[in-house]
Amino acid sequence: MADLHELETQIAELKAEVATLKANAPEDKLSMVVMSGDMDKLLASFIIATGAAAMYDKVVMFFTFWSISSLKDPKKTVSKDAVSRMFEMMLPKGAAGTKLSKLNMGGMGKAMIQSVMKKHNVMSLEALMKTAADSGVEIYVCQMSMDLMGYKMEEMIDYPGMKSAGVAKFLAEAGTSKASLFI
């Protein structure tokens, strides 16, 4: 009888451990911080995001600092203070205005890579962004970075469900993800 009671106790302990493991298991999700505003790094970010959307239940991108300008719609304008206008003049005007991180050569490098991409049927940054949206990739824009650089959500591209958020939101998403990346 003591052996049966001991076995029941061990089974109950194992069930409790399995329940704890299940509760703390990562979700089928990829979380990514996108900090760079360079065309090649943005391309890599969206290629990974769209590929991951086919593998994971959820893909979350958190745009911060220099990457935010790639989400700006150049046709949308909002009232800004002098410092914010200076940032806007110095930063790319949306995805089309991005430059390569290496070998940009006054735009020649960008034109060359775009030509090679077209030849090899690689989607443009704008097309990858649309594919990400169509695939359900979620985008959060760092509110602190937007405040520092003078961006407002009203001037961002039309992207389904894009929201501003703080670092706590990214940490919450990353904390429950199977994988997290920083680009």
Average pLDDT of the segment spanning 40-65: 96
Name which residue leads in pLDDT, 8 or 72. 72
Quick one: pLDDT at residue 1? 67
Structure tokens at 114: 């775009």
Q: Do the beta carbons of residue 159 and residue 131 sit within 8 Å?
A: no
Quick one: pLDDT at residue 17? 87
Quick one: pLDDT at residue 24? 75
Distance between CA atoms of residues 94 and 123, nearest Å: 17
Quick one: pLDDT at residue 3? 86
Query: pLDDT tens-digit profile of 73-128?
Result: 999 989 999 988 888 889 898 999 999 999 889 889 999 999 999 999 999 999 99
| One-letter identity of residue 100 | L
Walk across the sheet containing 177-182 and list its strands.
163-165, 138-142, 58-63, 27-34, 177-182
Distance between CA atoms of residues 34 and 60, nearest Å: 10
The answer, yes or no, to whether residue 155 has pLDDT greater than 90, is yes
The answer, yes or no, to whether residue 48 has pLDDT greater than 90, is yes
Question: Would you kindly state where each structural domain of the chain is located, as residue ranges?
Answer: 27-182
Distance between CA atoms of residues 111 and 105, nearest Å: 10
Q: CATH number of 27-182: 3.40.50.720, 1.10.10.1200, 3.40.1260.10, 1.10.3720.10?
A: 3.40.1260.10
Average pLDDT, the chain: 93
Distance between CA atoms of residues 106 and 66, nearest Å: 19
Query: pLDDT tens-digit profile of 9-26?
Result: 898 888 888 888 777 778
